Amino acid sequence: MLKGNNWSDSQRNLVLCTKFILVIFLNTFLLNGCGWHKTFKQNDRQGQLLPEKAISQLKTGMSPAEINNIMGSPVLYNLNDNRWEYIEYSKVKGETKKNLHLILTFKDSVLTKIERF
């Protein structure tokens, strides 16, 4: 590449070092370019997916088996209080988008109360 020129060894070394530093410099900025943009925030979703269609099917007088077929297993349940709890919480880009808490209360294996927060 430089053999045809009448350059001294020190001039050739200077050119090679400059090219090497330039390549390192460019690679550093190209590979770290993503860091200059806003940080990616992962969407968080905890609990269960509670679609309105499923919630609207709940009626007092239903059995736990019927509710389990519609909603799935609860996130929390207390056998002493005969209470099932369903929770859905989601964040998108750091902002809370949905926070739903559904409490189903049973008496004698029959749904008696539906609370939604």
State pLDDT tens for residues 31-63: 665 555 556 666 666 677 788 899 999 999 999
Query: Does one domain contain both 110 and 58?
Result: yes
**pLDDT band of 99, cuts 50, 70, 90:** confident
* Total domains present in the chain: 2
Query: Does one domain contain both 70 and 34?
Result: no
Query: Does one domain contain both 3 and 50?
Result: no
Query: Does one domain contain both 21 and 78?
Result: no
Query: Does one domain contain both 55 and 108?
Result: yes
Query: Does one domain contain both 94 and 69?
Result: yes
φ/ψ of residue 32, rounded to 5: -100, 10
Q: What is the pLDDT of residue 45?
A: 67
Quick one: tokens of 80? Answer: 């002493």
SS (H, E, C) 65-84: HHHHHHHCCCCEEECCCCEE
Query: Does one domain contain both 77 and 108?
Result: yes
Q: What is the pLDDT of residue 26?
A: 79
Query: Does one domain contain both 34 and 68?
Result: no
Q: What is the pLDDT of residue 49?
A: 79
Q: What is the pLDDT of residue 58?
A: 95
Of 67, 76, 75, the closest CA to residue 114 belongs to 67
Query: Does one domain contain both 48 and 33?
Result: no
Residues 66-79 pLDDT 10s: 999 999 888 887 77
Q: How far, rounded to the nearest angstrom, does the alpha carbon of residue 83 sit from its chain's CA centroid?
A: 29
CB 73 within 8 A of CB 27: no
H-state helical runs in the chain: 9-31, 52-56, 64-71
CATH assignment at residue 94: 3.30.1450
DSSP 8-state secondary structure symbol assigned to residue 36: G
Domain that holds residue 57: 44-116
The residue among 93 and 37 whose pLDDT is bigger is 93
Rounded to an integer, what distance in angstroms lies between the CA atom of residue 41 and that of residue 86? 26
Task: Indicate the pTM of the whole model.
Answer: 0.59
Half-sphere exposure of 27 (CA within 13 A, CB side): 6
CB 59 within 8 A of CB 87: no
Query: Does one domain contain both 106 and 54?
Result: yes
